Amino acid sequence: MNNRMLGGNAMRYIRNVDELLDVYDKVTREARRIALELLDEGLSAADPREAVRRKMKIEDGELRVDGYRLKLGSFNRVYVVGAGKASGGMAQALEEILGDFIDCGYVIVPKPLVNRYKLKKIKLLGATHPIPSEENRRHSEEIISLVSSADEGDLIICLISGGGSALMCCPYDEVSMDDMMTLTKLLLGSGANINEVNVVRKHVEKLKGGKLAKLAYPATVLSLIISDVVGDPLDTIASGPTAPDKSTFSDALNVLRKYGVADRAPKSILNVLEKGLNGLIEETVKPGDKVFRRVYNVIIASNEISLNTMYSRALDLGLNAMVLTSYLEGEAKEVGIVLASIARQIYYRDRPLAKPCAVLVGGETTVTLDVYGGSWGGRNQELACSAALYLNGMKGAVLASIGSDGIDGNSDAAGAIVDAYTIREAEGRGLDIFDYLHRHDTYSFFKALGKHLIYTGPTGTNVNDLTVIVCLK
């Protein structure tokens, strides 16, 4: 097996590599190092600047993006708009590539990221996330004004990434931002999935559900998209501002009814939906509409892309490897058991892969909080903690799981790594893993244990979660 390391133990994103590799068993140390290197590789593939530069280039006066070719000299003006946690990094890469071809632009990002990037042509506008505020509406109106001014000879480049739904929030005029805040809190706390939440958002706002593309028509629109949604549905990522939408006002109202929040939803929201049902407000923009004739949507980073990059690196390291799925969902605690069972099958039976090997998994699990108060952790730490119970004694087997945004749940860790010795060490320290799992307090468990929490800090991107199983012997 090729044992090349990334500059010794140094890695680009994972900050505490030396601590995590400070284990006494040589085989476990090597398995941990490989798992961490593969995760670091996946984060690199999701880096917004690198993703833009990987997909976009200028050759012979043409802007070439993923097979599309646009003659820059044929456009009168080039505008940039967008929103999302990763959109600031995308904007920086865009300026580095296009330079003076860009006339101006507005991109909405979370407030803490406004000063992270140094831009000349594109203005970053700070807004609140995940609950929208008046700032979000005001900045979205600036985008509406810019996009509406474009004509047939202009190019609009739209930078879309996770968090865009909340950041680029501009409800219809009769809906106040207080009402949007109430709606958002109701939906996020109702159990509705992201697709259902966005169906409602699309029908009470001005830019979602293809409406940005409609405002831009007949200009050319190029959307660069970093997906934070399992399966990469264009109509769900940031609520699909430049994508066709099949959902209806009736669907939006049914979501509110399904989760029992229709009677608590603000009256202005219900009024808008009722007007839409009666044909007084236009539907979202449907597939086949003429506004999409000059719209190009390109996914430049996603969970699948990160997993494929990790797969290639695993092969370079001389491992047998497979991408199990990028559609992983379910209760984190239960998913951890399932993934550990796969590790056990490999360890004892060399199936579905022979050792040494890496199994790569992506998606986004959930944690159902049936016990409240005083708990710290996240879905990746809970998944890893649960898996540790079934890796006990499997020397050379490791599972590591992280959130690609670098923030797992309400903790400051990205995730955790577990191995054959995790349970033994916990017992030696008097830590009851079942109690911590029951209370969803997995961060406290790993913090007390030491050498298990993975730290990256905020990565400036989000392509869901990345999980690695490594079995060496």
Residue 105: per-residue pLDDT: 98
Distances (CA, A) of 251 to 174, 190, 235, 283: 21, 16, 14, 11
Angle formed by the axes of helices 177-188 and 267-277, to 10°?
90
Confidence (pTM): 0.91
The region of weakest confidence among 153-157, 190-194, 196-200, 450-454 is 190-194
Task: Report the chain's mean pLDDT, rounded to a whole number.
Answer: 95
Model confidence band, residue 368 (pLDDT cutoffs 50, 70, 90): confident
Quote the CA–CA distance of 116 and 87 in Å, as a whole number: 12
The superfamily in CATH containing domain 48-170+205-247+284-301 is Glycerate kinase, MOFRL-like N-terminal domain (3.40.50.10180)
Q: Which of 138, 144, 146, 141 is nearest to 122 (CA)?
A: 146
Residue 57 scores a pLDDT above 90 = yes
Q: Are 302 and 33 within 8 A, CB to CB?
A: no
Q: For residue 415, list its beta bridge partners.
A: 402, 454
Residue 358 scores a pLDDT above 80 = yes
Residue 126 scores a pLDDT above 50 = yes
Residue 335 scores a pLDDT above 60 = yes
Model confidence band, residue 471 (pLDDT cutoffs 50, 70, 90): very high
Q: Are 380 and 465 within 8 A, CB to CB?
A: yes
Structure tokens at 189: 């706390």
Model confidence band, residue 24 (pLDDT cutoffs 50, 70, 90): confident
Structure tokens at 291: 């506004």
Quote the CA–CA distance of 299 and 45 in Å, as a whole number: 13
The answer for residues whose C-beta is within 8 angstroms of residue 52's C-beta and 6 or more apart is: 89, 90, 93, 94, 97, 224, 300
Query: What residues does each domain of the chain span?
Result: 17-46+303-471, 48-170+205-247+284-301
Residue 309 scores a pLDDT above 60 = yes
pLDDT (tens digit per residue) in 253-297 = 999 999 999 999 999 999 999 999 999 999 999 999 999 999 999
* One-letter amino acid of 258: K
Residue 193: per-residue pLDDT: 85
Distance of CA 19 to the CA centre of its chain: 27
Model confidence band, residue 194 (pLDDT cutoffs 50, 70, 90): confident
Q: Are 166 and 183 within 8 A, CB to CB?
A: no
Strands 415-419 and 397-403: antiparallel
Residue 9: per-residue pLDDT: 64
Residue 190 scores a pLDDT above 90 = no
pLDDT (tens digit per residue) in 456-470 = 998 999 999 999 999
Q: Tell which CATH classification among 3.40.50.2300, 3.40.50.740, 3.40.1480.10, 3.90.650.10 matches the domain 17-46+303-471.
A: 3.40.1480.10
Residue 324 scores a pLDDT above 50 = yes
* Residue 119 φ then ψ, to 5°: -120, 150
Instruction: Specify the 3-state DSSP secondary structure of 24.
Output: coil
Q: If you average pLDDT over residues 167-179, what whole number do you get? A: 97
